Amino acid sequence: MKQLNLIKLMIPIQFLLFLSGCSNPISEILPTEKSSFIENSRVIVEYKDTPHLSITGSSQTNIHVVIGNCEILKPNVKSCEQDHIVHSTQTIENNYLDFLWGFHETDVPASWQIHSGTDIVIAIIDSGVDINHPSLAASIWVNDDEIPGNGIDDDANGYIDDIHGWDFVNNRAIEPGTTQYDNTGHGTHIAGTIAGDIGVNPHAKIMVLKFMEGNSGYISDAIRALQYAVNNGATLSNHSYGTYDFSQRFKSVIDNSSQNNHLLIAAAGNHGIDIDQTPFYPAAFNLDNIISVAASNENHQLAFFSNYGDTSVDILAPGTAIYSTLPNNGYGLMSGTSMAAPLVTGILSLGISASSTAAITQLKESMMTRADSNGIINSHSFLSTLTELTSGAVGMCNSFTF
Ligand code: CA
């Protein structure tokens, strides 16, 4: 058997580079100061002698008391009920939408009307991420069980001071204060498509797991990164890299991660070949918890560089001239199946946010059956299917009764 650490052909799949909630249930929202106006203690009062509603505020901390007093003390009152807070389902403010043709191609903005995402944790197993980028800084995962900078592995997960993730290349923590985590921009570009101010799921949290330096890394480090992701709470992981070398160990670790309902999104590669015939891993592993992504172009067709495969490729997503974040406060275009995969990752995270009870196989099937006629993922149709399947779970976001 090959030594894992000798297999070094993990290629980031970027092709070209042109630089440039849910509300809490009302009953659980408690005031912090009794003397302040409590928004959730507003009451709608309906009087018997007038059709007009009256709204009253209150400094009471208990809405049941407010309503009880209302009905007892005012005999001319017909009804009293809490003035519930409703939330817009369109909570996305994305000022870059004009540049994000892939979002429009896949109906991401329309799908935000169905669900705008939650703080689901997504691991980006790549070249690192510029955690200080203004579009991303608020979206970086924080390991709450670790105390930063104390030199102690507080949560006993095997990694010291791993506040935002781990750098498996240099064997160091991803922690505040360091900017040079991503020397190619590859991982930062991927992160920007998934989360942050211009991402598909602005509420998602990015777990930064660096295993590539420059354009390559070891399979053994990718394995360790995936194990970290699974063990530390990531639901999804994005894999915009690959190799034509088979690794049984890599396959086994991915297979085992399905026991934690972990889902991987993998880029199909950029060599324009059929990966059913010439497998490209991890995309071509025949495992239920891998979604393999090929790239489409502005003409709704397979991009000329993209690998393909009837069996090995599950879905297409836009992957040419994709606009996203770059290190050092930058933005720019990249092309490749590397850029198609994170779009799918972001959309899947919306789907999981909308339907936390859906099984991985159900998510995968819904995503594939609701692709458009060219096999390109459609976020709006995908989320619509999930909400039809699991309306009860989705209803949590709109249920303010108590
Ligand atoms: Ca730790």
Q: 389 or 332: which carries more pLDDT confidence?
A: 332
Catalytic hit among 237, 338, 381, 384: 338
The pLDDT tens digits of the residues spanning 242-276 come to 999 999 999 999 999 999 999 999 999 999 999 99
At which residue do the structure tokens 């994170």 appear?
342
Kindly list the strands in the beta sheet with 322-326, ordered across the sheet, starting from the edge strand earlier in the chain.
16-18, 330-335, 322-326
- What pLDDT sits at residue 49? 75
- What pLDDT sits at residue 91? 45
Coil, strand or helix at 267: strand
C-alpha of residue 353 to centroid of ligand 1, in Å: 27
- Widest Cα–Cα separation across the chain: 86
C-alpha of residue 239 to centroid of ligand 1, in Å: 23
% of the chain beyond a pLDDT of 90: 63
Please list the helix, strand and coil fractions of the chain in percent, rounded to the nearest 5, in that order: 30, 20, 50
Kindly list the strands in the beta sheet with 43-47, ordered across the sheet, starting from the edge strand earlier in the chain.
53-56, 43-47, 77-82
Q: How far apart are the first and last CA of the chain?
A: 60
pLDDT at residue 3 tops 70: no
Predicted confidence band at 26 (pLDDT cuts at 50, 70, 90)? Answer: very low
Question: Is 164 among the catalytic positions?
Answer: no
pLDDT at residue 69 tops 90: no
The pLDDT tens digits of the residues spanning 198-215 come to 999 999 999 999 999 988
DSSP code for 395: G
Taking all residues of the chain, what is their mean pLDDT, rounded to a whole number?
82
* Three-class DSSP labels, 115-163: CCCCCCEEEEEECCCCCCCCCCHHHECCCCCCCCCCCCCCCCCCCCCCC
- Lowest pLDDT segment from 61-65, 179-183, 277-281: 61-65
Coil, strand or helix at 14: coil
- What pLDDT sits at residue 11? 55
Predicted confidence band at 156 (pLDDT cuts at 50, 70, 90)? Answer: very high
pLDDT at residue 8 tops 50: no
Question: Is 338 among the catalytic positions?
Answer: yes
CA separation for the pair 103, 20 (Å, rounded): 20
The pLDDT tens digits of the residues spanning 277-309 come to 999 999 999 999 999 999 999 999 999 999 999
Q: Which amino acid is at 285?
A: F
- What pLDDT sits at residue 78? 77
% of the chain beyond a pLDDT of 70: 76
- Lowest pLDDT segment from 32-46, 176-190, 244-258, 364-378: 32-46
Predicted confidence band at 53 (pLDDT cuts at 50, 70, 90)? Answer: low
C-alpha of residue 131 to centroid of ligand 1, in Å: 18
Question: Is 130 among the catalytic positions?
Answer: no
Catalytic hit among 107, 111, 116, 126: 126
pLDDT at residue 359 tops 70: yes
Catalytic hit among 186, 203, 262, 380: 186
What is the DSSP code string of 80-99?
A: EEE------S-----TTGGG
pLDDT at residue 234 tops 50: yes
At which residue do the structure tokens 């909308």 appear?
354
Q: 29 or 247: which carries more pLDDT confidence?
A: 247
C-alpha of residue 144 to centroid of ligand 1, in Å: 10
Contact between 398 and 359 (Cβ < 8 Å): no
The pTM score is: 0.76
C-alpha of residue 207 to centroid of ligand 1, in Å: 13
Predicted confidence band at 180 (pLDDT cuts at 50, 70, 90)? Answer: low
C-alpha of residue 155 to centroid of ligand 1, in Å: 5
- Lowest pLDDT segment from 85-89, 144-148, 218-222, 255-259: 85-89
Coil, strand or helix at 340: helix
C-alpha of residue 165 to centroid of ligand 1, in Å: 9
pLDDT at residue 52 tops 90: no
Radius of gyration of the chain (CA): 24
Domains belonging to the chain, first-starting first, are 4-23+90-398 (3.40.50.200), 26-82 (no CATH)
Predicted confidence band at 28 (pLDDT cuts at 50, 70, 90)? Answer: very low
pLDDT at residue 23 tops 90: no
Residues found in the chain? 402
- What pLDDT sits at residue 50? 72
C-alpha of residue 121 to centroid of ligand 1, in Å: 17
- What pLDDT sits at residue 138? 96
C-alpha of residue 158 to centroid of ligand 1, in Å: 6
C-alpha of residue 195 to centroid of ligand 1, in Å: 24
